C-alpha cells in the first residue's frame, strides 16, 4: 500500500468506520442512561511519561459532539470547566450559565458533578490533610460542587478520593485521616439538604469511587468493599445519602471479579452509579473503552445488572487512546464505545431469556434427588454428579451468545 497523504487520512478513517457498519442511531443511543464525562473527551493523551497527543477541547464542543453522537448526559469535575482560581467567584456563575446554554442547545442533560480533590497542589497531602485550612478548603470545594450540581440539574455527585493515602509510611494516621475525610462528605451532604430544600429538588446521590493504586503508593479506601465499610462505619452523618460509583477497571486492577464486587454493592443497596471501561488485572489504570479487552466478562456483568434492575448511569470513564486523533475521539472512540455497550446490554437480555441457560439454571437449582440421610455425603455427591456438568455448558452457551453462534454463526469447514 502507498503512503496515505495527510489530507486523505480523515476520510480513510471515516470510510472504514462506515464500513464497520452496525452503528446505532443517535435516537437509539439516547434511550440508554449513558453519560459522557467532560474529562474523557477532553483528555489530551498526557501522563507521567507521555506528552499530550491531542489539542484542548472545551465543554461547548464536547457537549455538542455528545449531543450529535446521542450521548444524552454529560458530567464534569468542577475544575474541568472552572479554573481553580475562579471557583466560587462571579466568573464561575458566567461559566455555569454558558454550560446551561450548551446543554439546552444540544439537548444534553447534566447527570453528575464531581470535585477534583487530587490534581491541584493544595491536595498534595490529600483533601483530608492535617492542616485544618486545607480541609476547610476541600469542604468548601465539595459544597460548591453540590451547588453547581443543583444549578445544572444533576442527580449525582461522585467522589474519587484520589490522593487519600501516602507515599511514605508513618506520617499519616489512618483512623484520623478517615475521620477527617468523613467530615468533608458530611459537609457536602448537609449543604445538599439545604440547597435541595431551597430549590425544591431532591437531594443528590453521593457516590464514592474506589481505586486500588494510583495516584498514591498506598490508598486508604482502595476498594468498593472498603468504601462500604466506611459508609457504615458511623463516621457519616447521612449514610443513607452516600452510595457507590464502582469503576469496572478499578475493581479488576486489584484482582477482583468486578461482577462479584458489583454484587456485594447491590446487596447493600449501594450500587448507584457505574464507571464503565476496560483494562487488565494488576496493571495501572489504563482506562480502555468498554468491551475492548474483556467482552465476555462485560457480558456477564451486564447480565447481573439487568437481572437486578440496575437503572443508574453508565458513565464512559475511559481515556481515548493516545493514538486516536481529536477527530477520532468523536468519530470513532465515543460512538464505538457506546455501541459496544448497547450491544452487550442487549446480549445480556438474550442471555436472560435464553431457553438453554434458563433450563440449565433451573435444573441446577432443583438439584438431584434427595438422599434419605443428610449425612450421607456419598449419596448427595452421586445424586448431583451429572447435573453439575451444566456449569460448563452454561459457560459455553454464554460464549455462543457473545459470538452470535446462538443465532447461527457457524464456520462450515
Ligand atoms: C480516576 C477516576 C476518575 C474519577 C473521576 C470522578 O482514576 O476514575 O476518573 O472517575 O474523578 O470522580
Ligand atoms: Mg472513574
Ligand atoms: Mg480508571
Read off the pLDDT of residues 182-238 as tens digits, 9 standing for 90 and up.
Answer: 999 999 999 999 999 999 999 999 999 999 999 999 999 999 999 999 999 999 999
Does the pLDDT value for residue 153 go beyond 90? Answer: yes
Query: How far does residue 44's CA lie from ligand 2's centre (Å)?
Result: 17
Read off the pLDDT of residues 25-53 as tens digits, 9 standing for 90 and up.
Answer: 999 999 999 999 999 999 999 999 999 99
Which mutation among 114, 145, 160 tests ligand 1's pocket best, with the greatest number of atoms within 8 A of CB? 160
Q: What does DSSP say about strands 314-315 and 165-166: parallel, antiparallel, or unpaired?
A: unpaired
DSSP of 61-116: HHHHHHHHHT--EEEEEHHHHS-GGGTTSHHHHHHHHHHHHHHHHTT-EEEEEE--
Query: How far does residue 76's CA lie from ligand 1's centre (Å)?
Result: 10
317 CB within 6 A, ligand 1: yes
Residue ranges of domains in the chain, CATH in brackets: 25-350 (3.20.20.150), 355-407 (no CATH)
287 CB within 6 A, ligand 1: no
Question: What is the model's pTM?
Answer: 0.97
310 CB within 6 A, ligand 1: no
Query: How far does residue 95's CA lie from ligand 1's centre (Å)?
Result: 22
Query: How far does residue 285's CA lie from ligand 3's centre (Å)?
Result: 5
Residue whose CA is at the smallest distance from ligand 1 atom 5: 160
Cell 457519616: give the residue: 236
What integer pLDDT is reported at residue 413 of this predicted model? Answer: 85
Per-residue pLDDT, averaged over 346-352, amounts to 98
Residues with CB under 5 A from ligand 2 (ion): 247, 275, 317
Q: Which secondary structure element, helix H or strand E, spans residue 375, and what is its range?
A: none
Ligand 1 atom, smallest distance to 39 CA:
9
Average pLDDT, the chain: 98
Amino acid at each position: 500500500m502507498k503512503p496515505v497523504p495527510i489530507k486523505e487520512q480523515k476520510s480513510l478513517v471515516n470510510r472504514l468506520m462506515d464500513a464497520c457498519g452496525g452503528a446505532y442511531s443517535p435516537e437509539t443511543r439516547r434511550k440508554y442512561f449513558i453519560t459522557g464525562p467532560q474529562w474523557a473527551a477532553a483528555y489530551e493523551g498526557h501522563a507521567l511519561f507521555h506528552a499530550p497527543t491531542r489539542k484542548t477541547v472545551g465543554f461547548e464542543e464536547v457537549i455538542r459532539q455528545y449531543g450529535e453522537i446521542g450521548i444524552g448526559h454529560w458530567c464534569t469535575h468542577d475544575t474541568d470547566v472552572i479554573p481553580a482560581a475562579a471557583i466560587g467567584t462571579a466568573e464561575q456563575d458566567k461559566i455555569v450559565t454558558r454550560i446551561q446554554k450548551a446543554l439546552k442547545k444540544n439537548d444534553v442533560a447534566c447527570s453528575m458533578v464531581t470535585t477534583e480533590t487530587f490534581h491541584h497542589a493544595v491536595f498534595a497531602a490529600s483533601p483530608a490533610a492535617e492542616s485544618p485550612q486545607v480541609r476547610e478548603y476541600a469542604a468548601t470545594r465539595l459544597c460548591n460542587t453540590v451547588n453547581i450540581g443543583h444549578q445544572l440539574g444533576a442527580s449525582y455527585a461522585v467522589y474519587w478520593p484520589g490522593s487519600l493515602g501516602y507515599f511514605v509510611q508513618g506520617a499519616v494516621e489512618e483512623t484520623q485521616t478517615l475521620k477527617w475525610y468523613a467530615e468533608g462528605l458530611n459537609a457536602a451532604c448537609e449543604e445538599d439538604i439545604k440547597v435541595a430544600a431551597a430549590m425544591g429538588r431532591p437531594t443528590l446521590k453521593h457516590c464514592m469511587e474506589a481505586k486500588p493504586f494510583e495516584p498514591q503508593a498506598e490508598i486508604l479506601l482502595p476498594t468498593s468493599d472498603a468504601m462500604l465499610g466506611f459508609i457504615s462505619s458511623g463516621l457519616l452523618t447521612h449514610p443513607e445519602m452516600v452510595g457507590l460509583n464502582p469503576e469496572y477497571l478499578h475493581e479488576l486492577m486489584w484482582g477482583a471479579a468486578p461482577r462479584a464486587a458489583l454484587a456485594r454493592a447491590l446487596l447493600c443497596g449501594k450500587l448507584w452509579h457505574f464507571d464503565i471501561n476496560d483494562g487488565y488485572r494488576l496493571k495501572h489504570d489504563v482506562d480502555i473503552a468498554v468491551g475492548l479487552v474483556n467482552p465476555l466478562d462485560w457480558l456477564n456483568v451486564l447480565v447481573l445488572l439487568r437481572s437486578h434492575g440496575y437503572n443508574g448511569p453508565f458513565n464512559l470513564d475511559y481515556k481515548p487512546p493516545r493514538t486516536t486523533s481529536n477527530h477520532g475521539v468523536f468519530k470513532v472512540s465515543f460512538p464505538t464505545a457506546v455501541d459496544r455497550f448497547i450491544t452487550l446490554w442487549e446480549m445480556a437480555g438474550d442471555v436472560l431469556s435464553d431457553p438453554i441457560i434458563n433450563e440449565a439454571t433451573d435444573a441446577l437449582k432443583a438439584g438431584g434427588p434427595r438422599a434419605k440421610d443428610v449425612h450421607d455425603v456419598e449419596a448427595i455427591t452421586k445424586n448431583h454428579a451429572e447435573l453439575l456438568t451444566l456449569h460448563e455448558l452454561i459457560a459455553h452457551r454464554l460464549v455462543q451468545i457473545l459470538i452470535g453462534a446462538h443465532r447461527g454463526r457457524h464456520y462450515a469447514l
